């Protein structure tokens, strides 16, 4: 029979831990500075009233720290997002700056184990000062938190997102790098080590913003998928990202109620200039093809020469990969390849079809990209797409030159549909570029500008290769030439039929073993 005194004591203990956390005065100070506790992040992110905590009574393994380490710096459990179950956990900076220690790390690992067993996504709120000293010191201390890195074996069996809410070093930054989607709130910092440690160890003085602020990672390193201005923006982004994904790798991605009409679009071709050298914003074309308001760009400020994102076409979740001629003419450079691989890994892991919209003049050339491993990243991207098990569809919009045609999932790649708009150009090299390379010195000797231009045109017509996509269609290297106005219809019809295919087991999806970082 239940003892009322014992149950009353249980509730009183739990209430005190959850109310005061690492000290009521610390919570007041955080609120005065405009910060939220990790419990507040969790409550505001989840559907109201659905949070169920795991590990409420955990505390430091060190006897001398037990009384002032409720939760041992980590808070977590389960709840719902839009009525779908998720696991949530994060760093409690009211307890020794949310530092990672033995019991706190065990809690994170236990929640990870439960997520895999239940087949539900993980959402992590990162803000920690790094590893806790002296807990982590010595061979025993450094050996114990290895459970943290069990997440490296996740193989994308359940989706994982991280939201960086403050200064994040060590454990929480490592977890962000192991995640499928990373959102970072402006004013926070993401780095392996605090700049304060830099100064002590090397004498280097650098600000938190310069070492790991939102702009650094959103524009330069690509270590985050989205920078946001507020916590609410971060919650919204992760909720939206989860809406495109299944709960785990065994499920089929959810199909929403279709939005937008599947009708001939007479204006879509007007978005693309006929002249191949004129830039335009590919995002406008993408938004015209996918369901209204469904595009969630991934890394929108990084490698802007390609557009990557999750979207819906006729309600089906899809990954979108498209060259953007507005930036660097839409060429593929190492950063663009890295961005594409990241999205392809997520799509393949969770069985989400990918749609490629191609307008690419080739791979970027020059000293910079060669030194930034253009060869490595270009072939790694080819390797990823050749091994992807999820369906892929490709439409050549305006041009595709060189190996970049294959790299963008064109002919002879394992695409389930390869289409081209009429008027597009496909070939080894832009004919005019080829003539300039082969006959540049000859043309430079012709002094009269009109004569030089006439000779250049003659050479283009005489030795330039045929770039007419009908030639490729004539040999079945393109499945069909399509009217631009039917692009959305063609893709939607293919997705409808592809929904009938057998879904590979998670272990049979090669990219599920690839890292997303």
pTM of the model as a whole: 0.92
Residue 149 has pLDDT above 90, yes or no: no
pLDDT tier at 461 (50, 70, 90 boundaries)? low
Task: Please give the structure tokens belonging to residue 318.
Answer: 């899809």
Q: What element of type H or E holds 336?
A: helix 334-349
Contact 367, 333 (CB under 8 A): no
Sequence-ordered alpha helix ranges (H) in 90-222: 102-118, 138-143, 171-177, 195-202, 208-212, 214-215
Cα–Cα distances (Å) from 243 to 163, 237, 240, in that order, read 16, 10, 5
The predicted structure's pLDDT at residue 435: 44
Best mean pLDDT range from 136-145, 196-205, 319-328, 372-381 = 319-328
The predicted structure's pLDDT at residue 138: 67
CA dist., res. 356 & res. 362, Å (int): 15
The predicted structure's pLDDT at residue 49: 95
The model's pLDDT over 377-388, given as tens digits with 9 standing for 90+, comes to: 999 999 999 999
Query: What are residue 184's DSSP bridge partners?
Result: 164, 227
Q: How many CB atoms lie within 10 A of CB 359?
A: 25
Q: ∠ CA 301-303-308 to the nearest 5 degrees?
A: 80
The model's pLDDT over 4-62, given as tens digits with 9 standing for 90+, comes to: 889 999 999 999 999 999 899 999 999 999 999 999 999 999 999 999 999 999 998 88
What's the chain's average pLDDT?
89
The model's pLDDT over 435-457, given as tens digits with 9 standing for 90+, comes to: 455 555 665 777 777 776 676 66
* b/e 289-313 (16+ beta carbons within 10 angstroms → b): bbbeebbbbbbbbbbbbbbbbbbbb
The predicted structure's pLDDT at residue 436: 53
Contact 86, 243 (CB under 8 A): no
Question: What's the rounded mean pLDDT across residues 326-342?
Answer: 96
DSSP secondary structure code for residue 65 in this structure: G
Task: Please give the structure tokens belonging to residue 393.
Answer: 């569809």
Crossing angle of helices 449-463 and 431-444, rounded to 10°: 140
CA dist., res. 31 & res. 497, Å (int): 53
Residue 432 has pLDDT above 70, yes or no: no
Question: What's the rounded mean pLDDT across residues 383-406?
Answer: 93
Radius of gyration of the chain (CA): 26
pLDDT tier at 141 (50, 70, 90 boundaries)? low
Task: Please give the structure tokens belonging to residue 49.
Answer: 């009233």
The predicted structure's pLDDT at residue 89: 96
Q: Which CATH code of 3.40.50.150, 3.40.640.10, 3.30.1330.100, 3.90.226.10 fits the domain covering 268-428+468-513?
A: 3.90.226.10
DSSP secondary structure code for residue 446 in this structure: -
CA dist., res. 491 & res. 3, Å (int): 64
Contact 134, 141 (CB under 8 A): yes
Question: What's the rounded mean pLDDT across residues 103-123?
Answer: 93
> Does CATH place domain 12-244 in 3.90.120.10?
no
51 Cβ contact partners less than 8 Å away, ≥ 6 residues apart: 42, 43, 77, 78, 79, 88
29 Cβ contact partners less than 8 Å away, ≥ 6 residues apart: none
Residue 187 has pLDDT above 90, yes or no: yes
The predicted structure's pLDDT at residue 442: 65
Give the least confident one: 1-15, 195-209, 305-319: 195-209
- Nearest partner of 404 among 374, 366, 432, judged by Cα: 374
Q: Express as a percent the part of the chain with pLDDT over 70.
A: 92
Cα–Cα distances (Å) from 129 to 72, 89, 135, 193, in that order, read 13, 16, 14, 9
Where does the chain hold its CATH 3.90.226.10 domain(s)? 12-244, 268-428+468-513
Contact 363, 333 (CB under 8 A): yes
CA dist., res. 507 & res. 155, Å (int): 9
Cα–Cα distances (Å) from 515 to 188, 289, 292, in that order, read 24, 30, 31
């Amino acid at each position: 029979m239940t003892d009322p005194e014992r149950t009353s004591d249980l509730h009183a203990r739990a209430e005190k831990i959850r109310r005061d956390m690492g000290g009521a005065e610390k919570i007041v100070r955080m609120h005065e500075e405009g910060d939220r506790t990790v419990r507040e992040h969790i409550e505001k992110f989840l559907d109201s009233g659905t949070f169920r905590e795991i590990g409420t009574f955990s505390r430091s393994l060190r006897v001398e720290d037990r009384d002032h380490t409720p939760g041992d710096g980590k808070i977590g459990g389960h709840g719902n997002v839009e009525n779908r179950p998720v696991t949530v956990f994060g760093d409690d900076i009211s307890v020794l700056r949310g530092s990672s220690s033995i019991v706190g790390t065990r809690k994170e690992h236990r929640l990870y184990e439960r997520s895999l067993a239940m087949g539900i996504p993980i959402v992590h709120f990162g803000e920690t000062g790094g590893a806790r000293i002296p807990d982590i010191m010595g061979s025993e201390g450094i050996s114990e938190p290895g459970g943290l890195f069990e997440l490296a074996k996740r193989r994308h069996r359940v989706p994982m997102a991280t939201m960086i809410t403050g200064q994040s070093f060590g454990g929480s930054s490592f977890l962000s790098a192991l995640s499928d989607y990373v959102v970072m709130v402006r004013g926070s910092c993401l780095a392996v080590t605090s700049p304060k440690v830099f100064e002590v160890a090397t004498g280097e003085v650098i600000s938190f913003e310069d070492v790991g602020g939102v702009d650094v990672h959103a524009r330069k390193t690509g270590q985050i998928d989205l920078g946001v201005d507020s916590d609410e923006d971060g919650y919204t982004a992760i909720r939206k990202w989860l809406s495109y994904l299944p709960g785990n790798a065994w499920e089929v991605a959810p199909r929403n109620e279709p939005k937008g009409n599947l009708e001939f679009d007479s204006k879509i071709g007007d978005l693309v200039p006929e002249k191949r050298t004129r830039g335009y914003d590919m995002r406008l074309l993408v938004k015209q093809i996918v369901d209204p308001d469904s595009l969630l760009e991934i890394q929108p400020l990084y490698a802007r020469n390609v557009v990557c994102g999750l979207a819906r076409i006729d309600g089906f979740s899809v990954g979108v990969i498209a060259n953007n001629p507005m930036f660097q003419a839409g060429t593929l450079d190492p950063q663009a390849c890295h961005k594409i691989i990241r999205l392809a890994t997520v799509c393949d892991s969770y069985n989400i079809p990918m749609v490629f919209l191609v307008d690419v003049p080739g791979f970027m050339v020059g000293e910079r990209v060669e030194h930034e491993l253009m060869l490595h990243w270009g072939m790694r991207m080819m390797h990823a797409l050749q091994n992807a098990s999820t369906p892929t569809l490709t439409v050549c919009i305006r041009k595709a030159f060189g190996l970049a045609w294959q790299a963008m999932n064109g002919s002879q790649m394992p695409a389930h549909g390869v289409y081209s708009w009429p008027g597009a150009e496909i070939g080894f090299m832009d004919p005019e570029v080829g003539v300039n390379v082969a006959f540049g010195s000859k043309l430079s000797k012709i002094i009269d500008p009109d004569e030089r231009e006439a000779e250049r045109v003659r050479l283009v017509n005489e030795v330039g290769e045929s770039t007419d996509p009908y030639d490729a269609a004539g040999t079945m290297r393109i499945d069909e030439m399509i009217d631009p106005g039917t692009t959305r219809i063609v893709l939607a019809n293919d997705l409808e039929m592809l929904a009938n295919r057998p879904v590979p087991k998670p272990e049979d999806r090669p990219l599920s073993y690839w890292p997303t970082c």
